[in-house]
């Protein structure tokens, strides 16, 4: 993997600047063809959106910029190792490479502890902290059947 220190420095600068803008200490940039095409900072408390992590915000901005849900050919530089939600979003966006500065343990030391989520994912559904139950599967399958027979869909 071939990283660029200037891109990481920008992600780190975003994380520092965001603290003064009522946000958390996290920043991310997305790069395509060597150029930063999008930035994101943690806006969870500022926007009351628990999904507004820096990586998610950067992904939203990059897909808007490229007018495409796929970020294949892009790399993400983030000031901290992505949490499980952000890591999943990075995979769904098809980003080619992830570069990060701080570790999840560094984040845990300042009060951002995602270890319980990693632990929950490993548990069977009946042992998870939040109850989860399946029902109305047959009704739910109707949308999947319709999708399967639609010819003009955009596959992803």
Which positions are catalytic?
55
The sign of the CA dihedral 104, 105, 110, 111 is positive
- The number of helix segments (H) and strand segments (E) in the chain equals 7, 4
Kindly give the residue spans of alpha helices, DSSP state H, lying in 76-135: 84-93, 104-109, 115-122
Q: Which residues contact 1 (CB under 8 A, 6 or more apart)?
A: 97, 99
For the chain, the distance separating the N- and C-terminal CA atoms, rounded to the nearest angstrom, is 26
What angle is formed at CA 25 by the lines to CA 112 and CA 39, rounded to 5 degrees? 120
Among candidates 72, 64, 85, which has minimal Cα distance to 31? 72
Beta-carbon contacts of residue 67 (< 8 Å; ≥ 6 apart): none
């Amino acid at each position: 993997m071939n990283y660029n220190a200037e891109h990481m420095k920008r992600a780190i600068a975003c994380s520092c600047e965001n603290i003064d803008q009522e946000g958390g200490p996290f920043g991310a940039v997305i790069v395509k063809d060597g150029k930063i095409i999008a930035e994101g900072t943690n806006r969870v408390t500022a926007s009351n959106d628990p999904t507004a992590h820096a990586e998610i915000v950067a992904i939203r901005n990059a897909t808007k910029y490229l007018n495409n849900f796929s970020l294949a050919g892009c790399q993400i530089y983030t000031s901290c190792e992505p949490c499980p939600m952000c890591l999943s979003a990075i995979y769904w966006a098809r980003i080619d490479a992830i570069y990060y500065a701080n570790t999840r343990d560094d984040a845990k030391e300042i009060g951002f502890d995602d270890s319980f989520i990693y632990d929950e994912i490993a548990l069977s559904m009946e042992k998870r902290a939040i109850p989860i139950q399946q029902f109305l599967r047959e009704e739910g399958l109707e949308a999947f059947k319709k999708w399967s027979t639609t010819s003009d869909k955009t596959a992803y």
